[in-house]
Each structure stands twice: as C-alpha cells, then as structure tokens.
Amino acid sequence: MSKDARELDLDLVLSAAEKAKFDELVAMLAKRGFGEQGPPRNTTFAEIERFGHRTGRMVARAIDARLAAQHAEHFATEEPCPQCGEKHSPAESRHKLAVQTEVGGVVLDEPAFRCPPCERDFFPSADSLAD
C-alpha cells in the first residue's frame, strides 16, 4: 500500500488551495441539500447528519471509482495469462465490473485480456480487488 493511503484513520492534510476547493465543494453540496439559506429552523441534527453521510458515501464512491480507474491503467499493457504465462495485449473493449464497497456499489472499468491458447479471459487489475 502506498504511504499516502496508509493512514486511513486520519483526516487528509490539505494545502491551503486544496482546503479552499474542499470548502467550496462542501458549500455546494450543502446548498444542493438545503438551499442557499441552509437547513430550516425545524431541521433536526439527525436530518443534517443523514444528509452529510449520504453525501459522504457519494463522494467515497466517486473517489473509489476514480482511483480504481487510475490503478487499472497499470494493467493496460501486455500481461501474462495466469494459466499459461503467455503475454497478451488488452482487448479494445474494456470490462465493466460491479463491486460492492463499504458505502455502496461502484462500477469499475478495467482492461480485459483474452488468452486464445487457454480459451480464457482474464482481468489482472481485478486480482488487486481481493481485500
């Protein structure tokens, strides 16, 4: 695992510019949920919290999909067949894989490979999804 992803229980440390963009995103999402003036007076904290968590899950799924797509690009060159070891280039069409994350479903788009001698398809980036 990369050093950037090791401290999963800690908040990310953002630069001033990143913090400003993050605050912008939070403001935009809050406005989308409760309008320009924010939550009405009779809104409970539980309602605010539910919206925050729903929004957080949406952001988490988007980050999962983006990082998985970037990770899949490491497998966009020739890869060995897991059965015979012969190297093959990825197919032109990619494989869509629905995965269930801790916060909901995400559809991943990954390179697909075909080994004609073994008559099998394989997806090297999928092997890294095991945990």
What mean pLDDT value characterizes the chain? 88
Cα separation of 71 and 50, whole Å? Answer: 31
* 41-55: pLDDT as tens digits: 999 999 999 999 999
What is the pLDDT at residue 26?
A: 96
What is the pLDDT at residue 72?
A: 87
| Whether pLDDT at 106 is above 80 | yes
Considering the entire predicted model, what is its pTM? 0.74
DSSP codes, 64-117: HHHHHHHHHGGGSS-EE-TTT--EEPPPSSPEEEEEEETTEEEEEEE--EEETT
What is the pLDDT at residue 1?
A: 47
Q: Which residue, among 62, 61, 68, has the nearest Cα to 96 in the 3D structure?
A: 68
